[in-house]
């Protein structure tokens, strides 16, 4: 499989090169040259397959033959060594819990898969690779955990000071080894802009190999299609149209679900559930894409004013607005809306959700006002990662799971920066 740049000013390239580069030389996002649907029989018998078998069959066309099949099977198996349960909320709404991995966030799948792919490609490389990643919350911890101790890979994580939860901060600042955290005086968009600027800085890239572990990297982005298939496997017997409500920030997660749809997964529709950062919501109304600076909310992993992956979503729909609108609805919600959703889920259904899941639940409810389907909202992080918000809403104490307890009392180690020049100086030292 080869990949092309969505800026269409760079040569097509291999999976390995796309993973190692992160961004194309023309600074465009990489996109697969083709997406071949799986045989209908694959979905007809999906309940008879293990998660590893499903994931391997779904991903192999995007990677082979650059990683041998036996190695790829091992990578998939190691990536998916935790559960992906679907929990019924009511007759028409379920939630997919994506927080059973090591850092208790959906990004564990992409981070673990990418780390293992890069480790395979780097095993004979004498030159270190620096993974540069911006995080609005969960990406940092997942990437740090996924790449911890990987030979020949150094990880540098930029996060906005005071705008991630205490637990999220602990997960990305306490590991040490090959992981370095940079605390940025600014918002997530500032972190993301610094990362993009670094990739465009030829003085920097001529001296070191940079790649990204944000969802702009195909090896972080594509594996997220796995759990949409796992959901269908669990709900197939319901014989209802399946709709996904995805809490959306950089739009990589929902975009991966759309790739699963292209592979033949019978998904009727997608809902992009947003917080106050409503760039895509406004676009779906006006057809004018007008990114704005991000604003801080209690669902901080979605505090993105200019979502990088939306261009991939447009490409998947042939850059045709009407085609996209037929497949995607988008809603935005305030923090007060989100708190009300968390309380409703707890009081009415005895379910404790995190703020991102709360936004997804609201999207599911709004869609069902005018449509019939079974809607699955993604619960993208464990509620204890947002302990102060959730406990304040439901007025109950939540027990800390072992993954969270393990980092709570570790010492934070981070380097404060306030400009791109400071980032560049750190990278060059």
- Ordered strands of the 129-134 beta sheet: 209-212, 129-134, 153-160, 179-184, 415-417
With a cut of 90, say whether residue 34 has pLDDT above it: yes
Confidence of residue 139 (pLDDT cuts 50, 70, 90): confident
- pTM greater than 0.95: no
Asked if the bond preceding 65 is cis, omega within 30° of 0, the reply is: yes
Average pLDDT, stretch 365-393? 95
Annotated catalytic residues are 107
Quickly name the fold that domain 84-102+221-400 has: Rossmann fold (3.40.50)
Model pLDDT, residue 183: 97
List the domain boundaries for the chain: 33-72+107-215+411-428, 84-102+221-400
Exposure string for 138-161, b = 16+ CB within 10 A, e = fewer: bbbbbbbbbbbebebbbbbbbbbb
With a cut of 90, say whether residue 309 has pLDDT above it: yes
Give the relative orientation of helices 69-79 and 51-63 as an angle to the nearest 10 degrees. 130
Question: Which secondary-structure segment (H or E) carries 324?
Answer: helix 321-327
Model pLDDT, residue 51: 97
DSSP conformational letter for 354: -
Q: What is the DSSP string of 141-208?
A: HHHHHHHTT-TTEEEEEEEETTSS-HHHHHHHHS--TTEEEEEESS-HHHHHHHHHHHHH-HHHHTTS
Model pLDDT, residue 20: 87
With a cut of 90, say whether residue 150 has pLDDT above it: no
Going along 188-317, which residue ranges are E strands?
Answer: 209-212, 242-247, 269-274
Model pLDDT, residue 149: 86
CATH of 33-72+107-215+411-428, one of 3.50.50.60, 3.30.450.20, 3.40.50.1100, 3.40.50.300: 3.40.50.1100
Alpha carbon distance 284, 314 (integer Å): 12
Alpha carbon distance 69, 63 (integer Å): 9
Q: Tell me the per-residue pLDDT of 392-415, one tens digit each, with 9 for 90 and over.
A: 999 998 888 888 888 888 899 999
């Amino acid at each position: 499989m080869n990949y092309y740049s969505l800026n269409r000013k760079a040569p097509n390239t291999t999976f390995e090169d796309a993973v190692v580069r992160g961004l194309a030389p023309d600074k465009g996002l990489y996109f697969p040259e083709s997406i071949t649907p799986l045989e209908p029989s694959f979905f007809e018998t999906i309940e008879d397959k293990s998660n590893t078998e499903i994931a391997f069959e779904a991903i192999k066309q995007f990677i082979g033959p650059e990683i041998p099949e036996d190695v790829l099977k091992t990578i998939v198996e190691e990536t998916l060594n935790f559960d992906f349960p679907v929990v019924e909320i009511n007759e028409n709404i379920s939630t997919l819990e994506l927080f059973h991995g090591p850092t208790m966030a959906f990004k564990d799948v992409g981070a673990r898969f990418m780390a293992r792919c890069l480790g395979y490609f780097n095993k004979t490389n004498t030159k270190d690779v620096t993974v540069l990643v911006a995080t609005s919350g969960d990406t940092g911890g997942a990437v740090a955990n996924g790449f911890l101790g990987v030979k020949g890979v150094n990880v540098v994580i930029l996060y906005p000071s005071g705008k991630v939860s205490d637990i999220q901060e602990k997960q990305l600042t306490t590991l040490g080894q090959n992981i370095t955290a940079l605390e940025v005086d600014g918002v997530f968009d500032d972190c993301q802009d610094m990362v993009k600027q670094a990739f465009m800085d030829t003085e920097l890239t001529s001296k070191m190999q940079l790649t990204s572990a944000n969802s702009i990297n195909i090896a972080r982005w594509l594996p997220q299609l796995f759990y949409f298939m796992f959901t269908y496997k669990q709900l197939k017997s319901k014989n209802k149209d399946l709709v996904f409500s995805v809490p959306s920030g950089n739009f990589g997660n929902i975009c991966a679900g759309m790739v699963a749809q292209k592979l033949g997964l019978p998904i009727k529709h997608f809902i992009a559930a947003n917080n106050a950062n409503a760039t895509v919501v406004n676009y779906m109304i006006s057809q004018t894409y007008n990114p704005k600076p991000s604003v801080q909310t209690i669902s901080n992993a979605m505090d993105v004013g200019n979502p990088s992956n939306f261009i991939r979503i447009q490409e998947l729909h042939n850059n045709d607005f009407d085609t996209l609108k037929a497949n995607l609805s988008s809603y935005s919600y305030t923090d007060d809306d989100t708190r009300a959703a968390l309380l409703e889920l707890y009081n009415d259904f005895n379910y404790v959700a995190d703020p991102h899941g709360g936004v997804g639940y609201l999207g599911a409810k709004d869609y069902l006002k005018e449509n019939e389907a079974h809607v699955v909202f993604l619960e993208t992080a464990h509620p204890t990662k947002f302990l102060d918000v959730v406990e304040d809403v439901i007025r109950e104490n939540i027990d800390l799971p072992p993954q969270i307890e393990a980092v709570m009392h570790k010492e934070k180690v981070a380097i404060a920066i306030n400009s791109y020049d400071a980032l560049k100086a750190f990278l060059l030292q």
